Amino acid sequence: LVAVLGIGAYLLGAFKSISETNAVARQFVYSALTANESGVALPAAVKNDLRQIGLAHQRIALTRVDSTGEVTTTVIDLTPRTGDSPKDPVLKVTDRAIPAIDAKIAGIEKTINSSPATTGNRALYTGLTKIDFTNVPVTIISSGIDLANPDNFRDLNWTVPAQDVLANVKKAGALAALHGPVTFVVVPTAGSQPQLSQAQKNYRQTVWTSVLIGSGATSVTFIDADGPVASSSTPAPAVPVPGMPGPPIQPVGNRA
C-alpha cells in the first residue's frame, strides 16, 4: 500500500510538473493570411508586453487559425538566453536581454507573415471555439472579416445587428470559452478587399465585441496593426463595402 501511494504521489507530482511547464503568460491567436490582408507589424504596445513576458522568463501560446477554422498551437519560451538552446544560460542584464527578446518577437512576426491560408476563406471565430483558453490575457491578430458562419461578413452585409449575430451564435451552441481580457490587433486589408470606411470599421468592432463578450471575455480592446504590403498569394473573395446610411453604429457590450 505504501508503495502504491508512493507511485501515486510520484504520478501526481509528474502531472503537476507537466502542467506547470506548459503554463503560459499570454495566448496569441492569429488568422492565416490571404491575399486580402497585409503583412503584420506588431504594434508597440504588443511588443512591449512581449518584452515584459520575456524579462519575467515566461512563455506564450501562439495559435494559428487556418482558413478552414483548424487550429495549430505552439508554445514559445521568451526567456532571453545566450543561445537558442533551452539549456543555454539566461541573460539577466536587461540591456543584454532586450535584444535577445526582440529577436524572438521578430521570429513571431515572421511566423505570422509566412503563414498563408490554405484556401481563400477566413474562419477566425470557428477557430476560437476550438481553443482551450485559460485565464491569461488573449491577443487576437486578424482582419476580423470572416467568410464563414456564424459571422460571415458577406452575409452580414454590414447591416445585421450585432445582438442578432450573438443570438445566432448562442442558438447554435457555438460560443468560444474565453475567461479574461482580449486585445484585438486589426490587420489592414489589402489586395481586392476594399478599404473599410469608418462606419464599416465600427460595425466590425461592434460585432466582434458582442460575440467575444458573449463568449466570456471581460473586455475587448482594439489596436490597429501596421503592415501595408500583402504577404500571401492565396486568393480570397472580397467583401463588398457599400455606403452605410444612417447614424454610426453604437458598440454592443463592455469594451475597454
Do 60 and 76 form a contact (C-beta atoms < 8 A)?
yes
Determine the Cα–Cα distance for residues 133 and 253; give it in Å rounded to an integer: 20
Task: Tell me the pTM.
Answer: 0.85
Tell me which residue has cell 472579416.
145
Whether cis (ω within 30° of 0) applies to the bond prior to 99 is: no
Query: What are the phi and psi torsion angles at 61 (to 5°)?
Result: -105, 125
Q: Nearest Cα to 33, choosing from 110, 133, 105, 126? A: 110
Q: Nearest Cα to 127, choosing from 40, 68, 170, 55? A: 68
Determine the Cα–Cα distance for residues 25 and 17; give it in Å rounded to an integer: 16
Helix (H) or strand (E) holding 203: helix 198-214
Alpha-carbon dihedral sign for residues 29, 35, 37, 39: positive
- Tens of each residue's pLDDT in the chain, 256 residues: 444 444 444 444 433 333 444 699 999 999 999 988 888 889 999 999 999 999 999 999 999 999 999 999 999 999 999 998 999 999 999 999 999 999 999 999 999 998 889 998 899 999 999 999 999 999 999 999 999 999 999 999 999 999 999 999 998 888 999 999 999 999 998 888 998 999 999 999 999 999 999 999 999 999 998 765 556 778 888 999 976 555 545 545 554 4
Q: What amino acid is encoded at 203 in this protein? A: Y
